[in-house]
Chain A
């Protein structure tokens, strides 16, 4: 059985009492307590400015568990990608930013899409999941 773990450490001195949070989770299939996610899509793409593109080409099956990591490896701090899901704007990842979310993919329109701004952005992504609706040739 496959095992995928995701750990985070968040620190901030914005408050007088400095904040430090650490957490770790094992990523499991929906509705289970210990059956780990067993499929992965891992890639690196350069995205030119202009059009909006689906980052994930095949849609993981709805109602299953998925975890999506995205990092913007651009160096110029003015570059960013705008993230949308199902046409809903989520936010922006500027150069050096990353995100980690439990992507829902609740229907065919719920893909994660990105639009490059400032210049060509370099994007790393990893989708951990438990099944996709493959497209027949």
Chain B
């Protein structure tokens, strides 16, 4: 039951930068055992410039284990109708701390603590409709 994630970064900013190509298998903390739980792939449509929880840690049907090897993937796919505006974005946060802004088409993959207070939030920059795709992988408490 493997979950893998591969990244490829190419850039011509710096001559001699050969790019980055890395793959990881998501495992449970401190082991080589595959990670065993997921929220499943989800889609959330937002139409207001106010913060919402993408993941409310205390409300997950299966309690995630705290401070281990959880990861989340989030992508801003635009308005969900094929229109992607790279000039506006959605600020992704953890426990009210802004992590960064996903502009149209941007994605992130980051680790999570899954502590109850550390909800994952999304705050669109405008009231225009924006759709986020996301999936969290975690260990069952």
Residue contacts A-B, CB under 8 angstroms, 29 given: A2-B13, A4-B9, A4-B12, A5-B10, A10-B73, A12-B2, A12-B38, A12-B137, A13-B1, A14-B36, A14-B38, A25-B105, A25-B106, A27-B106, A28-B86, A33-B85, A34-B86, A40-B13, A66-B100, A89-B67, A90-B99, A94-B30, A96-B24, A98-B7, A99-B109, A100-B109, A102-B92, A102-B101, A104-B91
On whether the beta carbons of B11 and A5 are closer than 8 Å, the reply is yes
**B residues neighboring A (CB under 8 Å):** 1-14, 17, 20, 22, 24-27, 29-32, 35-38, 40-41, 67-71, 73, 75, 85-87, 89, 91-92, 94-95, 97-103, 105-113, 115, 118, 133, 135, 137
Q: Please, how many angstroms separate the alpha-carbon atoms of A78 and B31 in the complex?
A: 7
Q: Please, how many angstroms separate the alpha-carbon atoms of A40 and B109 in the complex?
A: 20
Q: Please, how many angstroms separate the alpha-carbon atoms of A13 and B38 in the complex?
A: 10
On whether the beta carbons of A65 and B103 are closer than 8 Å, the reply is yes
Is A137's beta carbon under 8 Å from chain B?
no
How many whole Å from A3's CB to the nearest CB in chain B?
A: 6
Which B residues are CB-close (under 8 A) to A38? 13
How many whole Å from A116's CB to the nearest CB in chain B?
A: 14
**A residues neighboring B (CB under 8 Å):** 2-15, 19, 21, 23, 25-28, 30-34, 37-40, 42, 65-66, 69, 71, 77-78, 80, 83, 85-86, 88-94, 96-104, 106, 110, 126, 128
On whether the beta carbons of B111 and A19 are closer than 8 Å, the reply is no
Which B residues are CB-close (under 8 A) to A34? 86
On whether the beta carbons of A14 and B3 are closer than 8 Å, the reply is yes
In the complex, the number of residue pairs spanning A and B with C-beta atoms less than 8 Å apart equals: 195
On whether the beta carbons of A8 and B109 are closer than 8 Å, the reply is yes
Given contacts A8-B107, A102-B108, contact A77 B13 (CB under 8 A): no
Given contacts A6-B7, A32-B87, A90-B111, contact A13 B2 (CB under 8 A): yes
Given contacts A3-B12, A5-B9, A34-B86, contact A104 B99 (CB under 8 A): yes
On whether the beta carbons of B8 and A42 are closer than 8 Å, the reply is no
Residue of B nearest to A2 (CB): B13
Which B residues are CB-close (under 8 A) to A33? 85-87
On whether the beta carbons of B25 and A96 are closer than 8 Å, the reply is yes
Given contacts A42-B14, A65-B101, A65-B103, contact A88 B3 (CB under 8 A): no
Residue of A nearest to B70 (CB): A91
